[in-house]
Structure formats: C-alpha cells, structure tokens
Structure 1
Amino acid sequence: MHAFSANRRRLLALGAALAASPLGERIALASTAPEPAAELAGVTLRVATYKGGWPPLLAAAGLADTPYKIEWHELNNGLLHIEAINADALDIGSGSEIPAVFAARRKASVKFIARTREDLNNQVTLARKDTPIQHIAELKGKRVGYVRATTSHYFLYRQLTEAGLSFDDIHAVNLAPADGLSAFDRGDLDAWAIYGYNGQLARNRYGARELATGKGYLSGNFPIYANPRALDDARRRAAIGDLLVRLRHAYAWANPHFVEYARAQSAETRVPAGDLVAMFNRRSDDYSLLQVTPDVIAGHQEVADAFARIGVLDGPANVAPFWDASFAPIIQSA
C-alpha cells in the first residue's frame, strides 16, 4: 500500500464523496472542491479504450467532466493495451485475463488494479444452421474457428475438455474475428468460438445456432491494467482512483438505462442500437466494476496454468505479483 500525503488523502476523499453522492450530483460535487480539482487540473491520464467503450459510457452517464484531462487511445486488443503500458505510452488499459497471462509470463511492467464484470453470453461457440451439430461433443473432426490466445481459445478448450475432446480432435482454424465471420458465412467453418458483436451478427445474419456460451467456463473478470509508473506518481494515482469511481458508477447507471447507453455506443460504432439492446437483454450478468479479491487472483492463475499445460504459453506464469488491491477501499466506498 502506498503512503499517502495529506493532499493525496484529500483527493481520494473527494473520490469517496463522489461515490457516495447521487448520480445527478456528482459533477456538481466535484466543482465544489476547488483545491483538489486544482491539483488535478494539470494531470493527463493516457487511457486506452475500445470503440464504443468507456468514453460514450461516461458521457451517457453524465460523468465525463473530469478535473483532469483524459487522452483517449483506441486500441481494440488487450495485448496492445499492455504493450503500450509496458512501453510507458499509456497509464490505463483493460482487457480479458488472457493478455494479462502473457504479460505475467514475460514479466511486463504492468499491474492489474480492478476488474469489470461483463457479459459471458456473448462469448459463444456457434454452429452453422445447415450442420447437424447440436452439442460440443459433435465437433470431433469438424472445422472450428477460434482466435488464438484470447477468451475464445480458453473457453473452447474448456468446452472440448468437458466433452472428452481436445484441440487434436478438431480441425482448429485460428482466424481474426472479421475473417472468422467471413469464413463462417462462406461455409468454410462448421462451428466458431467467438466473442462480442460478431457472434450476434452470426446469429442475426446467418442463423447460427448456439452450442455453448462462456458462462461456466470463463470467470467473467476483465482486468483493468495500469502503468506502475503512473501508480507511483501521487497526482496520477489520485486521478486513476477518481476514474475508477466514475466508471463504477457509470456501469451501475448503465444497467437500468441501457437503451441510452446503447444509443451512445451506436453513435460511435455504427452498430444498430437494437442489436446492442438485444445482446444486453440476454446478458449473463449486470455490468460492474469491482475491487481485486483473492478469488479473482486464484481464478486467473487457473487460466495461466491451463495455457501453460496446452502449450499456448512457453512456460509457467505466476500472476499474483501483478495484481494490486490497493484501490479496493476507494472502489468499495463507491
């Protein structure tokens, strides 16, 4: 745990006050605390985002007016987030547990300071509508698309293992998501393990049938990655704490106001808001931002061990030293 100066304690106290206030009062409350806000006025956080991610979420929730500057960088891959953090080009990023496993293996300069809970029903293994495949066990000998070293790789491995199969029993085809959708459309794949909006497109456009989702195979924890150099800087650390509080409240707001968030996402992504709402309505869990707990670290280690066992990693990875629970008090206070 870092030692806090008096100013840093005041800044984190402001974050707690923001967290405790009603949604409509948060921005007004920030403006009534000029001394801490002034201290953060010269801070710039370099934050990686996904298209349709945190910027429209914060804006839709009315929480985008921060007392510090955010320099957004759109990087639609968690590995890129970590690489940029490791190179000191970013302060904050996010992604699944999988890039975090690789970061731990190569001892990257990164910490995992919080986690979001996201939908596991859009992490899915699909069969083409014109195949007789009804169960994972029937994938033996079939052409199955996936994205190597991602959540789809991991949940497909778990689903195959449960069905008494392995990757050696299928014709596994590693494809980027857009290429996988095209291959699925052409009939080059019998089944496809995929995540995000591409799975929804496969259902809507091509009548894909769901064999299994990621629920029960993935933890649902998606780490927030941080630059250790930013955490060691008092003012940037305080700004990071404030951003975590804002994101926690924004996720809590989005669950009962998802139509508004979907419209904001659609404006940025051009994905129809109706499709986004349909995905949300079949979600596995509500969205949230949560603190680091021991079970999160233990679950992440299970992923690392599995990838080492099947040869995706070139050796063991110990993830525990990369998790940082020091923001737990401010997150819990929200």
Structure 2
Amino acid sequence: MSRRFHPAATRRQLLGLGLAAALPLAARAAGPADKLRIGFQKSSTLMIFLKSRGTLEKALAPLNVAVSWHEFTSGLPLLEALNIGAIDLSADVADAVPPFALAAGAKLTYVAIETPSPQAQAIVVRKDSPITSVAQLKGQKIAFAKGAGAHFLLLEALAAHGLGVRDIEPAYLSPADGRAAFEGGNVAAWVIWDPFLSAVQRQAGARILLDGTRLFAYRRFYLAATPYAQRRSDVLATVYAELQRAGEWIKQNPGPAAEWHAPVIGLDAATVEAANLRRSYRVQPVDGEALAEQQRIADAFVQAQILPRKLVIAESPVWRPA
C-alpha cells in the first residue's frame, strides 16, 4: 500500500501551523530561508505560468521558502536530477517517465496529476509521406524521446498492429533534435507531445498518423524527492493549490493564456492556443486509476526489455492534499 503524506494531518501539526500563523512575519522570516528547487520543461505550462508571475515566491514567503527554477530538455533528466538531490520538485512529466526513474532506484513521491489529455501527443509523418497506417512503420526509423509519454504511445500503437519495438528502428532524440531529424527527412515518423506537436503541425504541415485516443490516457505527473515531501508537506500543499488555480485560469482564458505563454516559449499565440485546447490542465490528487496505469506502463516497458526489472508502483509513496 502506498504511504501517504497528509498536510495538517494531526492535531499536533494543526496546532503548530496555528502557532506559526500567529507569529509576526518578520519573526518567522528571521532565519535563513528554506529553498524549493523546481525543475520544469518547455511543456510545463502551469509551472511556467506560476514562474512568470512570481506566484509561488509570494505564496511561499510566509513559510520562509525561497524558490529557484531549473529548466530541462525532457522528463527523464529532470527526474534524474530529482533523484540525486539537485532539485526538490518536478513540474509535470509524462506518465511514462516515472517508471524509468523508479527502475533506476529513485526515491520519488507522487504529488499530483493533470487529468488525461490523450490527443496532446501523437505519431506524425510529413505531409508528403506515403505512410498512412501504423503497420507501415515496420522497418522504419522513428524519432521519440526515450522514457517520455511518446515512447509508451509508440509501444501501444505498435502492439495494436501486431508489431513491437524490434520491428522499427528507434531514434532516441530530444524534441529539438527530433524535429530537425523529422523535417530533414532522416526519420520516417516522429512521436511528440504538445506544444511541439501543434508547432510542427502548423509550421511544417505535419500529418497526425495516430494520437492517444483509445490507446493511452496521457496523464502528466508532478513528483517530489521523497525526503523533501516528508519534510515540507506544507510547501507541497501551497504549490498544489496554486497549480489548480493556474490550470483553471488557463482553461477559462484560452486566448489571453496563449498570448502570455507564446513569447515565454518562443511560439506564436495561435500554436500555443491549439496546444492548450488539447491539454486538460486539471490538477488532481494521484488516484488509484492513475497508479494502475503507471503499473501498466512499467509492465509494458519490462516486457519490451526496456526496463531492467519489474516494479511495484504501489510501493511508491503518494502525497495527498488534506
């Protein structure tokens, strides 16, 4: 059974929080500030939103917590940094990423999910490609980021057509390198997520061969280093609440959200808005259904001999809001 960290779960903790709230801010801030180091990617819309507005810095000031931001090109290096103690909290990563980190022995705590967005990642081919079905990918070179949600989507798509990873030539590439290889004709297909998916559709006319609909729910997970989750559940509660508010604002204001986000990530507003329409941005606690799919992902990677050992996802700790 998963261990659960409950903010304000005991009478003693509640009393402690009440006493802290009663102290003058100057008294609480007298000591050196604790740090919250957050890792994020260009696809981490909600964290980038909070970063751009200084929201967490303001929300965490009463807890005497300073925030630092660290950008990564993909999810697996981000969780590796989390494991070695270089950061404390990971912005959203695709749901195929945590099993890779856990298989490497990472001590991670599941914090939250964004609910499913199956259309927010897809297998694409060039607009002039003769490929019209997944079955035609047999023997072809396909670009994708190892350990990303795109990796699992490809496995599921191949399996649905009687194929496996040995039937294609994998090209493990970051989003930037994957797009260059795709547009240069060096790969037959590319498996990618938003906003990169919307960008290659709008800017290069890429054609979607298949997305995650009916194949893969595609949840995005927020994770913390387990020692940090055990020590600062109050910080996680604050971050969780702000992520929920950010997600609600972006879904309720798609135009303004795209206008804000576009220059931050170097895309045009129309592309960002198209990407945002495919993402749920609904931040929720990690539930049994999400963990069951984590197990299914882990088992699939073990079966494909991509992960070295079987995992029991239920053994990983889960933080839950009060």
* Coarse TM-score class (shorter-chain normalised): 0.7 to 0.9
Closer, same or farther in 2 for the Cα pair 1:273/1:118, shift >3 Å? farther
Q: Which ranges of structure 2 fall in alignment gaps of 5 or more residues?
A: none
TM-score, length-scaled by structure 2: 0.84
| Alignment-derived partner of residue 284 in structure 2 | 290
Match of 1:279 in 2: 275
Matches of 2:12 and 2:41, distance apart in 1: 33
CA contact (8 A) 2:143 2:190 kept: yes
- Candidates 78, 82, 90, aligned match of 1:81: 78
Q: Which residue of 1 aligns with 2:37?
A: 46
Provide the C-alpha distance between the structure 1 equivalents of 2:159 and 2:228, rounded to a whole number of angstroms: 41
3-state SS of the aligned residue for 2:37?
Answer: strand
**What is the Cα-based RMSD across aligned positions, in Å?**
2.8
* 2:137 counterpart residue number: 139
Task: Report the AA paired with residue 38 of structure 2.
Answer: V
Letter in 2 for 1:143: K
Q: CA deviation at 1:226?
A: 0.9
User: Which residue in the other structure is 1:22 paired with?
Assistant: none
CA separation of 1:12 and 1:266: change in aligned 2, threshold 3 A:
farther
Name the counterpart of 1:254: 250
TM-aligned CA deviation for residue 295 of structure 1:
1.5
Query: Following the alignment from structure 1 to structure 2, what is the Cα–Cα distance between the partners of residues 273 and 11?
Result: 46
Amino acid at match of 1:178: A
| Alignment of structure 1 residues 1-334 onto 2, 5 Å | 1=4, 4=9, 8-9=13-14, 35=23, 41=29, 42-51=33-42, 53-58=45-50, 63-64=55-56, 65-66=58-59, 67=61, 68-94=65-91, 95-117=93-115, 119-233=117-231, 236-281=232-277, 283=278, 286-324=280-318, 326-329=319-322
How many equivalent residue pairs? 306
Q: Secondary structure at the match of 1:137?
A: helix
Instruction: Kindly indicate whether the alpha-carbon contact (under 8 Å) linking 2:131 and 2:137 is maintained by their aligned counterparts in 1.
Output: yes
Q: What is the identity, as a one-letter code, of the residue corresponding to 1:73?
A: H
TM-aligned CA distance change 1:86 to 1:170, over 3 Å: closer
Q: Look up the equivalent residue of 2:247 and give its one-letter code.
A: Y
- What TM-score do the two structures reach when normalised by structure 1? 0.81
CA contact (8 A) 2:41 2:72 kept: yes
1:332 aligned residue: none
* Displacement after TM superposition at 1:96 (Å): 2.0
The CA deviation at 1:40 is: 6.7
Contact kept in structure 1, 2:291 and 2:314, CA below 8 Å: yes
Question: In the TM superposition, what whole-angstrom CA distance separates every residue of 1:11-50 from its partner, at most 9, and x where no partner exists?
Answer: 879xxxxxxxxxxxxxxxxxxx664966874433121122
Query: Which amino acid is the alignment partner of residue 89 of structure 1?
Result: A
Report which stretch shifted further, 170-179 or 218-227: 170-179
Question: Which stretch shows the higher mean deviation, 288-297 or 192-201?
Answer: 192-201
Q: Distance in 1 between matches of 2:195 and 2:245?
A: 24
One-letter code aligned to 1:314: P
Query: Partners of 2:296 and 2:27 in 1: how far apart?
Result: 42
CA distance in 2, matches of 1:38, 1:293: 39
Q: Is the CA contact 1:46–1:71 (under 8 Å) kept in the aligned structure 2?
A: yes
- SS of 1:255's equivalent? helix
Unaligned runs of 5+ in 1: 14-32, 330-334
What secondary structure is seen at the aligned counterpart in 2 of 1:121? Answer: helix
Partner Cα separation in structure 2 for residue 319 and residue 192 of structure 1? 29
- Offset from partner CA, 1:233-273 (integer Å, 9 cap, x none): 2xx32122111111111111210112222222223212111
Show CA shifts across 1:127-165 (max 9, x none). 222222222122223332222222112101101111122
Contact 1:96 1:151 in 2 (8 A): yes
Q: Secondary structure at the residue paired with 2:38?
A: strand
Paired residue secondary structure (2:162)? coil
Q: Could you report, residue by residue, the CA deviation over 1:68-126 in whole angstroms, capped at 9, with x for unpaired residues? A: 32222222322223222222222211312223102221321221122123633231111
Question: SS at 2:258's partner residue?
Answer: helix
Separation in 2, partners of 1:45, 1:63 = 13
Instruction: Quote the Cα distance in structure 2 between the aligned partners of 1:167 and 1:240.
Output: 38
1:17 corresponds in structure 2 to: none
* Paired residues of 2:90 and 2:222 also in contact (CA < 8 A): yes
Preserved CA contact (<8 Å) 2:143 2:191: yes
